[in-house]
A and B are shown apart, each in its own frame.
Chain A
Amino acid sequence: MIGLSRRARDGLTDLWLVGPASLALLVLIFVPVVAVAILSFTDYQFGARTFNFIGLENYKTLLTDPIGRRAITNTLLYVAIVIPFSMIFALLVAIGLHGMASWAAPLSRILRAAYFLPVAATLVAMAIAWQMLLHPSIGLVNTFLNAIGLPGQAWLSDRGLVLYTLAAIGIWQTIGYNMVLFLAGLAAIPGHLYEAAACDGADRQWERFWTVTWPMLGPTTLFVLVVTATNSFRVFETVATLTKGGPAFASDTLVYALYREGFVYFKAGYASAITIVFFVFVLVLTLTQFGLLERRVHYR
């Protein structure tokens, strides 16, 4: 047998370890992505025997057709609402629960579990609960509003309102997860830093927040931002179970449109174009976030 140098043997071991996973990644992700990319330039329909290359026609439709544009703007609006609110609320709740842990530990633990519940529960099941809560005539929300003298709303069937309703549910669903991440980040901040800030005369809560909490939480915040952004871009279950994109496409989103075009109308070519647009959005978002912010949140 040929004697291999130690380096070569280590190298082979590395390849052997990384090989199968990389192969699976290639077959299961890259190949489909390429296939989808190719399909997006065709008029292929599921089950059809032939297809034609139609160039950028699918993309043109998506970006010019009112329905396609609606899905894109709805998704962007949804993301733009869910990201800041779910992050700010999660951070506030995390700071509160973190502080509470020192003087009311049991209550803090109970609240922690309560906030995490929406994350643990299946959203499809929770959707039924939301449907009942938001029912225009017998829903608890409208009953409550009426009780305090405010008019009830058609939360899921008013065109101007439905997307905000879904965004609110998205926020409710995301806070718990983000809160857990922020809590872990808060727990990792050395207490001495707060004491040092206090010793230097930082006597107000917000001074300590800006001196210690916010900068030390940088890496956590970036991670939460990326996770929240990609997750909210993928919004689908609430749309599918509560509104089916309606009324009149007022709550249509990219992934729901993708599902409808691909699996209801079998327009594989068009669905592929939607997939690619979605993919590009998420990729650009993630790369910008890591590229721009990574350098600013790690202190090396």
Chain B
Amino acid sequence: MVDSRGRGTSIRIRECAKTFPDGTRALEPMSLEIHGGETVVFLGPSGCGKTTTLRIIAGLESPDSGGQVWFDDEDVTALPIEHRNVGMVFQSYALFPNMNVEENIAYGLKIRKFSRGEVSSRVEEMLDMMQIHELRHRTINQLSGGQRQRVALARAIAVQPKVLLLDEPLTALDALLRERLRVDIDRLLRDLGITAVYVTHDQAEAMSLGDRIVVMSHGRVAQVGTPRQIYFEPRDPFVADFIGTMNRLSGVVENGVLTARGGSVELDEHPDGPIEILFRPESATIGNTGNSMLQGRVSGVFFLGDRTRLIIEEAGEEPVIVETAGSREFETGQRVGVDIDRDAILVL
């Protein structure tokens, strides 16, 4: 396997904040380093400042004074987008409706005064790479959403930009198409070895595409880390809740044992007092009533094919969600025991 790290332009964001003219504080001062060739995903709920950050990197917005954006060793803060050499895929695609597919892809090359031969060979290359050869003479209105997205990607990378910026490129597409294009984009980013910043509010997209994920909330960075770190070691309750499903169990610790509503859990080395522990649905198993750590009553059963998701009441103050292998059958009202993998327990 080729290691793509080290190629591509690194991006450094230094103390970038953004206050819009109407007074909206979209971004608190933020610093972040993105390595050359890395794919970083900005993940967070709608309105948390992901697009604003991306636009600051692109040069479409300027940060409040004091903020700086660096591409490698160059301070590009004052450089407008047209001189930053970035490729951008807009959420709305933003393809030119008066041009056909080929002309859209060729546009940036022509503006940059590439020779006619270079333009056409590069366009061919893009059509090949995105597998849209048969669409080359179509106008944009004759394309489906997925096809438009491919053309938008082709246009963005045709000019061989230093960095590729993608703002929720798959959000407008249906689930199946989203899955397929996600795989394609992943392959593309690895093959190109280009530095990429990808904005999404979809955690599955973030998990599968990102070398690192930047979780954002209310204009702040909540956590930066690899998908594994974000999933298994969330730094605060917001991140824990936003990524995947997280159970909360509250109670009081006495002599290293947590007593909750439906039973008790042994914890190592925790001071006495009230506490809340967190664990993932897959870190708990259904045991026999009597021997298990917690006792509860099944209030919801969702058969998902390969596994079954159970909602269990009375184990804690809030319902606990547990996932088990699909073969065993449950019914609502049934009393069950719950055991938690103690190594997977988080205390924040």
Is A199 within 8 A of B139, CB to CB? no
Would you give the 0/1 interface string for A265-287, flagging 1 where the beta carbon is closer than 8 Å to chain B? 00000000000000000000000
Contact A201-B139, Cβ < 8 Å, known A195-B60, A196-B90: no
- Min Cβ gap B136→A in Å is 16
Is A202 within 8 A of B139, CB to CB? no
| B:93-131 near A, CB below 8 Å | 94-98, 107-108, 111-112
Interface 9-mer from B76-84, B201-209, B241-249: B76-84
- Min Cβ gap A108→B in Å is 15
- Min Cβ gap A190→B in Å is 7
Is A200 within 8 A of B159, CB to CB? yes
Which residues of the partner chain A approach B215 to less than 8 Å between Cβ atoms? none
Beta-carbon nearest neighbor of B139 in chain A: A299
Is B97 within 8 A of A201, CB to CB? no
Total count of chain B residues near the partner, CB < 8 A: 27
A190–B80 Cα distance when bound, in Å, is: 20
| A:198-227 near B, CB below 8 Å | 198-203, 207, 211-212, 215-216, 218
Choose from B111, B140, B155 the contact partner of A299 (Cβ within 8 Å). B140
Choose from A195, A207, A212, A300 the contact partner of B111 (Cβ within 8 Å). A207
Which residues of the partner chain B approach A300 to less than 8 Å between Cβ atoms? 139, 141
Beta-carbon nearest neighbor of A202 in chain B: B111
| B:53-107 near A, CB below 8 Å | 58, 60, 80-83, 85-88, 90, 92, 94-98, 107
Contact A211-B86, Cβ < 8 Å, known A299-B139, A299-B140: no
Is B88 within 8 A of A196, CB to CB? yes
Which residues of the partner chain A approach B88 to less than 8 Å between Cβ atoms? 195-196, 199
Choose from A198, A201, A207, A212 the contact partner of B96 (Cβ within 8 Å). A212
Binding site for A on B (CB under 8 A): 58, 60, 80-83, 85-88, 90, 92, 94-98, 107-108, 111-112, 139-141, 155-156, 159
Closest 4 CB pairs of A and B: A200-B108, A215-B98, A192-B94, A203-B82
21 contacts between A and B (CB under 8 A): A190-B92, A190-B94, A195-B88, A195-B90, A197-B96, A199-B58, A199-B87, A199-B88, A199-B156, A200-B107, A200-B155, A200-B159, A201-B108, A201-B111, A201-B159, A203-B82, A211-B96, A215-B97, A215-B98, A218-B98, A299-B140
